[in-house]
Structure 1
Amino acid sequence: MEFFTALCVFAAICVSGGVGFYLNKHLNAKRIGDATELATRIVEESRKEAQAQKKEILLQGQDDLFNQKRELEHEFKERERELKARDRKLQEQGERLEEKLEKATEKEHELLSVEKDLSKKERKLAELEESLNERIDEQERRLQEVSGLTAEEARQRLFAEIESRTRHEAAKMMRLIEAEARETADRKAKEIIACSIQRYAGDYVGEHTVTAVTLPSEDMKGRIIGREGRNIRALEAATGVDLIIDDTPETVILSAYSPLRRQVAKMALERLIQDGRIHPARIEDVVHKCEQELEVQIREVGEQATFDAGVHGIHPELVRYLGQLRYRTSFTQNVLQHSLEVSALCGMMAAELGMDIKKAKRAGLLHDIGKAVDHEVEGPHALIG
């Protein structure tokens, strides 16, 4: 019984082993078939994809070749057009050169013909000159035979006679020329001066040796005089100007020969009146400041005068003296204005006479420079200048 059971178990094991082997074999065969089928499908898809890529690459290559071909054809056409244009230009230049060559050839022929004519004329002139020389020699021989004089003696006698006649005529002509020159020079000088005066018209400024300062009220006169006259004495001492306070309403008169001092006094008095503080210490301070300001104004006026006259390169001290002329009068006229007018007139007359205009303007501007200091230096203003 046990044997039979064992046999049955063994048989069952064998059957199950055979069935398992068969199933395993069947599964392996199926897997192999599936793998083969998958490999075949992958290979097929790869082949199709490779063919598609190949076609795409071929198409891309054809497009590139077509584009390159088109670009080359376009470049070839452009170069062909350029070559044709160059050929046309060269052809036109060649035609122009041919025309010029033809004209040059024609001119050369003309010059050759003119040269031949000139050669013929030169030969004729040489022949005529030789013939004239022979005739002159013959005439001289005949004259010597008739007059009994040699050619040198006849020449000297002829020159002596011509000289005597010429001297008399030259003396008469010289007197006539001198008279005409005097008349012409006088008339020309008058014309130049009249023309210059007509071209320039200046305004005359009337100034005197006194200056009036207007006061805001009559009470200001007492403040200017000060206690026991100390303010007016301090102002006169600081400026060197005489203050005249009379019955003229609301007016103070400044009197001084020097126009600069009068100008300083006027500036100081106007500033003191405006400020209201009038006492000796304040007067000295204001006068000092006004003198400094006037010095600056004088230099500015002098520089402006040189600019208006068009005269440059003047020494700074002379520029200062020119500025001082602004406060100087002569024959009721402002001297600086007069100097500018004279400078302009000198320039115009120099232009009419064809002389140096710059030098003439410079001389005219500085001709009265001595009047700037004639109240400080003794002597005529011309010598001072």
Structure 2
Amino acid sequence: MNVYLSTLLGCVIGIILGWLIRLLYAKIKLTSIEQRAVRLNQEAIKEAQAKSKELMLETRDQLLKEQQEQEREARERRNELQRSERRILQKEENLERRQSELDAVKKQLGEREQSIAGQEEKAVELETRLLRELERTAGMTTEEARQTIIETIQNDVRRDSQVLVNKIEQEAILKADKVARDIIVTSIQRLATEVSGEVSVASVSLPNDEMKGRIIGREGRNIRALETLTGVDIIIDDTPEAVVISCFDPVRKEIARVALERLVQDGRIHPARIEEVVSKVTREVNRIVADEGEKVVFDLGIHNISPEMVRALGRLYFRTSYGQNVLAHSKEVAILAGMIASEVGADTELARRGGLLHDVGKGIETEDDSGHVEAGVELAKRLGEDQKVINAIHSHHNDVEPTTVESVIVQIADAISAARPGARRESLDNYIKRLESLEDIAESFNGVDKAYAIQAGRELRILVNSDSVTDEGAKDIAKDISGRIEAELRYPGRIKVTIIRETRVVEYAR
């Protein structure tokens, strides 16, 4: 029991001692924390005081710097104001000095004006006396003299202006002629075509004269059948071993020629065989016509040509004019027209088309007496060709006036292709002789100074003496020369006779 109480008492005492110790430790720790807090507070106060002093010092330094900067700017402004004041004062002094000088100049000018006015009065008086003296000496008034001078000056100006105009016109003509010659020569040089080919043969060779009887047949039935089917005239005369075929249509003449040659080679000549051969040859020739027309259109790069127009072009393959194949001539004209159009800046497509179709009327069968130009124009209108192309066809022989540059180019290309030496069946000697004959005929007339055959003999240009030949006389000479040319010469196409009568007055200033 005592032991238990002793133990319990010991536990209670231990608990109390432990609590007292913890309480004492807590008080000691609290005291230490309070002291540390006081120390920290004191340090914070000291640090705040130090920072406050440092901030005050910085603020004071900044204020001092700003104050110094303001004082410096104020000094600069004062200095600038002082300089401005000095400049203003200097300008005022200069203005005052200039004003003084200006016043002095004005005074001098006034004096001079007075002096000049006096001199002018004296000059007017002197001029009046001189004019009176001149009028008395010349025997005319001032207005009459002025009018005479004006008329003299006007005449001189007219003469000088006319001389200048004539000079400019001559230079322009020379330049235009040179450019035109260059374009034509360039086009001819660029063109590579053959000269005229052989004339289409209108006769058929026979192995012997006995074949003529077989061609005629019993009671002429064979020759009648052949002429009826082909539409040609077959002439059998005394020409040995040859039969002549006559027909204005070259296509029908070609059909008859080929058919007759085949019949002669075959030996079987009777109406049924003739009909068979003619039918076969007709199909072949029609195919050639279409092929040749399409070929030339393709070679020239021309599009939208109607089949009927292509066939009309193909028929030109069998047509010749003075030994020149018409289709080859049309192609050549188209090429030349395109070249010339490209040189002068015209429409090359339109020029080529007009050049190709300009003689298309020669490949058309007509029953009236209209020429190839009218036939070509009618076909072109019916097939819906452009009006410019129709004008090129209609005007290439000057039947109507050309309305476009391309129509004129087609005329030029046609003349180049048809008239240059070698293009048609005419030897160079005959060509030169024809040109000389033209010039000789013209120079045989009285009053003609000189004659020139130009454009390959298509034009005869004649210079007459203006003193011995009047304007009416020039017309009579042109008419008489044209009549002699028609009567004495043979030539393709037509020849233009141009009379030039001019008066030249030459003066020399020495």
Q: Report the TM range for the smaller structure's normalisation.
A: 0.5 to 0.7
Give yes or no for the alignment of 1:262 onto 2:253. Answer: yes
Distance in 2, matches of 1:375 and 1:332, equals 23
Aligned partner (choices 220, 223, 232) of residue 232 of structure 1: 223
Structure 1 residues 86-165: aligned runs within 5 Å: none
Say whether the 8 Å CA contact 1:257–1:375 is kept in structure 2: no
Is the 1:343–1:360 contact (alpha carbons within 8 Å) kept by the matching residues of 2?
A: yes
Any idea what the Cα deviations from partners look like across 1:153-172, whole Å, max 9, x if unmatched? Answer: xxxxxxxxxxx9xx999988
Out of 184, 187, 199, the residue aligned to residue 196 of structure 1 is 187
Alignment correspondent of 1:110: none
The letter for the 2-side match of 1:319 is V
Q: Which residue of 1 aligns with 2:76?
A: none
Tell me how far 1:377 sits from its aligned partner. 4.6
1:326 is displaced (CA, Å) by 0.8
Q: Is the 8 A contact 2:249 2:365 kept in 1?
A: no
Alignment partners' CA distance in 1, 2:368 and 2:318: 17
Unaligned stretches of 5+ in structure 1?
A: 1-141, 147-163
Amino acid at match of 2:307: P
Select the residue among 212, 215, 229 that pairs with 1:221: 212
Match of 2:173 in 1: 182
Contact 1:202–1:341 at 8 Å: present in 2 too?
no
Check the 8 A contact 1:377/1:384 in 2, yes or no: no
In structure 1, the partner of 2:350 is 359
With over 3 angstroms needed to count, the CA separation of the structure-2 counterparts of 1:341 and 1:301, relative to structure 1, is same
Which residue matches 1:205? Answer: 197
* 1:350–1:360 CA contact under 8 A, matched in 2: yes
Contact 2:183 2:340 in 1 (8 A): yes
Mapped to 2, the partners of 1:332 and 1:274 lie a distance apart of 28
The answer as to whether partners of 2:202 and 2:245 remain within 8 angstroms in 1 is yes
Structure 1 residue 376, shift from structure 2 partner: 4.1
1:271 shift after superposition = 2.2
1:292, 1:331 → 2: CA distance?
Answer: 28
TM-score, with length taken from structure 2 = 0.40
Query: Could you list the per-position Cα deviations for residues 113-162 of structure 1 after superposition, in whole angstroms to 9, with x for gaps in the alignment?
Result: xxxxxxxxxxxxxxxxxxxxxxxxxxxxx9xxx9xxxxxxxxxxxxxxxx
- Correspondences of 1:222-301 after superposition (within 5 Å): 222-301=213-292
Counterpart code for 1:315: S
Note closer, same or farther for the CA distance 1:197–1:375 as it changes in structure 2 (3 Å cut): farther
Report the aligned-residue RMSD. 2.7
TM-score (structure 1 length as normaliser): 0.52
The aligned residue for residue 387 of structure 2 is none
The structure showing larger relative contact order (alpha-carbon pairs under 8 Å, at least 6 residues apart) is 1
Select which of 296, 303, 314 maps to 1:312: 303
Q: 1:326 aligns with which of 314, 317, 324?
A: 317
Distance 1:349 1:374 in 2: 32
Unaligned runs of 5+ in 2: 1-108, 114-153, 377-510
Q: Between Structure 1 and Structure 2, how many residues are aligned?
A: 221
Identity of aligned residues (%): 52
Question: Alignment partner for residue 371 of structure 1, among 338, 344, 362?
Answer: 362
Q: Measure, in 1, the Cα distance between the counterparts of 2:176 and 2:184.
A: 12
Greater helix proportion: 1
Structure 1: distance between partners of 2:365 and 2:168: 46
- Distance in structure 2 (CA, Å) of the matches to 1:336 and 1:309: 12
Deviation at 1:215, TM superposition (A): 2.1
The answer as to 2:331 corresponding to 1:340 is yes
